[in-house]
Structure 1
């Protein structure tokens, strides 16, 4: 069964944005081709970052490997129920200090931009992408032997959507539910309307 969740927007959006969503039903036999994986990582590589510091780092574990099993086992129990069918699990981390030890205060923000670029490329490639915050960061850091300055932020489950995939009832219902967002007006911060106050002497 094909599930379409095109966003209901006040003005038209590019289809890659309007049709992107985060399924949990994945094809457990789909294999991620090298060319598509490279395209995802290239899309992330060319994201903008503060002073071009490029703080994002990736670890890719394909299904059927020991690495995949190890990353899967760090996921929260509810995520393990379906993420085992992903073609690959991608750990995304941010390098929070530079080579000189100076902090990179925008590292997490920039890494989020890289993932956003990756997610749009995945939509273009006809792939499903679900971003997971429910995982044990300390276990992932130990698994990858990450230095303290490289902080795991998210795990991406990448694969091909399967509308017939078996899911627990609650998750299956969420697959069919319409996408929801706050109305645009609720996201706009009010601006001051009077003259700016002079700072106190």
Structure 2
């Protein structure tokens, strides 16, 4: 993550916002990219005064909403054959086991899987294409997608922004230590939130004895 942050700090603010929106947008379309790491790095740059937090959060939310909608359209058009091709291309991230878990989440939670999926790496990548392939009604999908994207983007950005500002305030004479603590706090907070969301979805998504994964849910 520090490499990403060092790379972003050398860019003008507009380029940072575009990269945040672009990386998160492409990730939301079904391509495994470090969207969360990019957002965390940009948020810490905002705490250091390099970029504005509201623009970072807005760019992340825009990328999430537009990317998920594009992924929905692609999944609607390509169906499960597309998901199978993605699984072969990215077996570590989107293989049959990951797809089965994601489908169970949709079967159990419906569009709430889109909302909470924004906080889970697997569903953050698969939510849009899978919702399209399963023919989830677009209006319901868009509502959950927009709500999840906005909450995830602004909560993550401002949490890390304020952690960074607090660290800088108390450690003015050792700014590099403050930055390091902010990075550790941000990563730890993000990891904790992801673990809690992952456990909740994984626990509720465990199939009962004899239960099979639904091939399609309308």
- TM-score, normalization: structure 1? 0.27
Indicate the structure with greater helix content. 2
Indicate the structure with greater strand content. 1
By relative contact order (CA 8 Å, sep 6+), the higher-ranking structure is 1
- TM-score, normalization: structure 2? 0.25
